Structure 1
Amino acid sequence: MNNEHQLKVEHITAGYDGRTILKDIELAIPVNKISVILGANACGKSTLLKTIARLLKPSSGKITLDGKGIWTFPSKHLARVLGLLPQSPVVPEGIVVADLVSRGRFPYQGLMKGLSREDHAAVAEALEIMGITNLADRRLDELSGGQKQRVWIAMALAQDTDILLLDEPTTYLDITYQVEILDLLTDLNRKKGTTIVMVLHDINLSARYADYIFALREGCLVSEGTPSEVINEELIKEVYGMNCSVISDPVSGSPFVLPKGRHHVLDSCLA
């Protein structure tokens, strides 16, 4: 499958309660690629994702999908093209896995109609992709953190969109689960051509899995490009205020950041 939907951010300024967080952001999401939004805490990463997903209306600028303003699309039509997994989704009490995943089929359902054959097939496929078919009848609150995250992503997959936005999909997971989730998302991208945009905290995992990186600092886009183009000592210093060395990842060949701690700096001064 080759999905060619063009998603662009055009000079967006946005924020909350009169406070500006994003400042004149302009970018184009690479089609059929995995993009990662990087930056320090409170730099505007989640705000940018919410604005792209139409959860937050900008004070100026616009988001376009295939050249049309994103606010002009009917909600169900947009939800068939663009899906969002927020950072802290609300968990319906007592819900079982299959029921939660089936909620991803809402954009395809008519008024007062149940799940169709196509809906059931999409749910089954999403469960299989995430490797949780055996959990279909389990209650969500009985599952581990890693299993829950797979369920939430399966719900987003069941929505069957060409563009998938994920806000910190690996947060609170140990490294094993983080790698598993990112491997599964990479497989989805490679097999179905799904355009994926993620907010991630881990710089090295971002460099390993991203095709393209957008780096934010204090609400401004300061750099974009492939990991090898973006990840360097100067950029990490500018974005995170951290001294580091950047080497080649011995496994993937992608940039790998080695922080220089306070003791390293002191030792250098005393040498």
Structure 2
Amino acid sequence: GSVGVLSAAVDSLNDLAASIIALLSVRASGRPADVEHPYGHGKIENVSAAAQAILIFAAAIYVIYEAIDRIITPQPLVAPVWGMVVIVVTAVVDLIVSRYLLAVARETDSSAIRADAYHLTTDVWTAVGVFAALGLVELTGIRVFDPIVALIVAAAILRVAVMLTLEAAGVLIDARLPEEELREVEEILMKTPKVVGFHKLRTRRSGPTRQIDYHLIVPGTMPVIEAHRLTESIEDAIRRRFPHTTVVTHIEPDRITETSKPDTALRHRSSPRRPRAPRPRSRSYRSGAA
């Protein structure tokens, strides 16, 4: 039989398995935080993406093995016309489903659904390549076109697997948010009135949820209630820009005053204390360090 059709069939089975895994992971990751998982279950989505990558790697290796075997020992194709019909139908279905999944992924910000959609989109181009190979075999009778295209299909499958692996690994090891998102967070912070600056900005992602924490520098004379309202307005602005985001703000005074000294200083009034120099008013670095 055709290795091209075989590769498409194997990839379709992987699509089905990957879609089932994505569905189950999205449902599981949506569970609220509990005592054992205070940060929620969002990373279940990223674990599922890694599992999908393993399935895709396995499919690609199998297709490569079969294609090389057919190049070494050519075999006659069985009913290539029917194979072409199957490939066309599969491509149309994959195209429709992938467009729908991309729309859902944009709405829910789900990495698992988005990865599944990209996988199906790649399958559409894969199916087009296999269709072209089978057509060439029908027209020319040169059967080597079939395993050659199968190798190209396998390369496309591997590309998706690598993409899924890198994306899942980045989230699982708490990589920071993309540079453009960091710039938007910084812009919100620095454009807020009465904010002196910030530092120790840390970001990460857990499934569809972003997690952001930072130290906000405010004037040392600012009352606590005003500082609290200021942080609430900043956190609301960040969540409006990035839905499904958890924001934690730590307030720091720009300079020590009599009302902002540590408790230890208040308990030792007789001990002389040199006033601390004001903090620099420039925006701070982006660092993953605590």
Q: Quick check: TM above 0.5? A: no
Please classify the TM superposition score into its range, dividing by the shorter chain length. under 0.3
Relative to its length, the structure with more strand (as a share) is 1
User: What's the TM-score once normalised by structure 1's chain length?
Assistant: 0.26
Q: Using CA pairs below 8 Å that are at least 6 residues apart, which structure has the higher relative contact order? A: 1
Relative to its length, the structure with more helix (as a share) is 2
User: What's the TM-score once normalised by structure 2's chain length?
Assistant: 0.25
